[in-house]
Structure 1
Amino acid sequence: MKSKIFLFECLVGLVLTASSAKVVCGDDFQQTCEAAAKGVPSESITYKGQDGWMYSGSELRHLASGRFFASPPKDPQTNPIPAIVDFNDQLKKLGVKLIFVPVPPKATVYPEGISSKFSPDAAYAALREFYGILKDKGVETLDLHGIFIAAKKPGQELYCRQDSHWSPYACEIAAKAIAAVILLEPWVQAIPKKQFQSENKELELTGDLWESLGDKTIPKEKILSRLITGTETIDAGSPVLLIGDSHALVFHAGGDMLAEKSGLVDQLAYEMGFPVDLLAVRGSGATSVRINLYRKSKQAGWLNHVKVIVWCLSARDFTEASGGWRKTPVESGK
């Protein structure tokens, strides 16, 4: 029942987003992001926006590219579409379901930190079109943007103001949406359920954008997180494997990933009632994580128990991925 309710909430959010959009041209937003990206100091990764919002230069450069998919790039290995479709097709042949979960850029959910004249809908137009292309090619793509807009509320933001990652609250909302898809699978009923507990905890962050800005007079950000405890959220034998970039590690891995037990993998385990396996990298989640998956596959039968792979990465990787978008085999010898 919880899954059906959340799916309904997601649909309502999408309708509300579409109906309340300001009439502002996406090209204007693209140009604004381009100007903002040029305003990032050469020694920094941070654009200092309005009302305490900070944005990464790489995200702004991506948004400045607009409809990046409109014409094939000169280097085929920088085109994300063939690599994503090929990965999905390989997994289908192995009987594994792929759920592709790109993280919306912060500036498309909170554009007001750059300019108050843009609505989130106008800021997101190009990416929405891109995900339509992926869906037409058979890739199950979970577009979180409308879900995030519906979940916005004062005092609990979906992105860190001073870090380039989403917030624990966004991890929670994303996990609900992903779980709503997975829990519809018939095999889920046979999975033994675990007893997880949750508690709210306030965190003070040393965000990467705050550090890069270099202005220590700005107070550090404080946010609320939902800490998942009671039993382990990671299990190498889980039928669900989460792969991705640092968005799959933040608030889970600790250290430079800011906290533990509050990340996407923890929230997903809590929402589904059973642990998840994790394979993630701190850099780009475009190619390197798929290479790591291939290396793992050299262990005999490693993928045999996997029924769903959730691939979560920053949307900016579509144009900013350091290693490009190469096709990689899923299994050794393929």
Structure 2
Amino acid sequence: MTEPLILKPTLHEKIWGGTALRDVYGLDIPSETTGEAWVISGHPNGVVSVINGKYAGKSVAQLWHDEPQLFANKDVERPFPLLVKILDAHQDLSVQVHPDDQYAKAHAGELGKTESWYILAAKPGATIYYGHTATDKAAFDQAVDEGDWDHLLQKVPVKAGDFFYVPSGTLHALGEGVLTLETQQSSDVTYRVYDFDRVDAKTGQKRDLHLADAKNVTSVPFVPEKPVQIVSNVGDLTMTNLVSAPYFNVVKWEIAGNATLEAVAPYTLATVVDGELDLIVDGVTYHLNKAASFILPNDVQTWQLDGEATLLTTTPGPQSL
């Protein structure tokens, strides 16, 4: 019998975190400063395991290596390539940048980190930091050295439903009051550029900055990528293709009724971000509430959806296969 892999998230406390992951998504947060739920992950810093069926108790990383047929994985030595998180920016995150694969491998032994943000909710007036104003590297380095953040950083207003593609090399940060689903390469390499001079309540110290690495990897000038969104329908399902990129493809599913779908990739990752629905695979019904995340592995070639819900789904791009 084929079946989906329904997952249990791991929760991470952050200096900038809050309680929205509990208040909005019903997750069992460890403290009042919980910033991240890693809902689909094979990364060792956030082990996510299956809670149903024959693979119950197995982590995504274990299955990637031990059951490669589930992902049509032809190289068990490489890590599971994708990671999906829900982030609660109760305060501004640090302004940061991530390296590409080549730099990350040489300096951190990891994948690089290209990511994307789907804004789930945003308080009135909320913003993100997205890119910078420097026209050449000398100007960028000078602004960083002088701490001229007001002139260097670009702020963009955001609302629920907005989508941003954030390739490696992009200077960025979520702003206070933003709840986001992040799809990314499976990497935990971050170079912190500016942290608003705040002090960690637990350590009494400011957090480390990584200015040399940040200068090395930040793209100058900043040229935002704005993917064209394509909408299609299957039954009572509306699918909005948010981005088709080298490492991942992100598609929003909005179901209001029922639909039957067929696989278009070796595997599909999905998170219910609103509402609830039934997922029917091989004649078995799985009821999924908000925040539920699952993987449709390679042996699931067709499935049905029934309910009223919004899901964010991810399939691997060509550089992740």
What TM-score comes out, normalization by structure 2 length? 0.29
Instruction: Give the structure with the larger helix fraction.
Output: 1
The one of the two structures with greater contact order (alpha-carbon pairs below 8 A, sep at least 6) is 1
TM-score (norm 1): 0.28
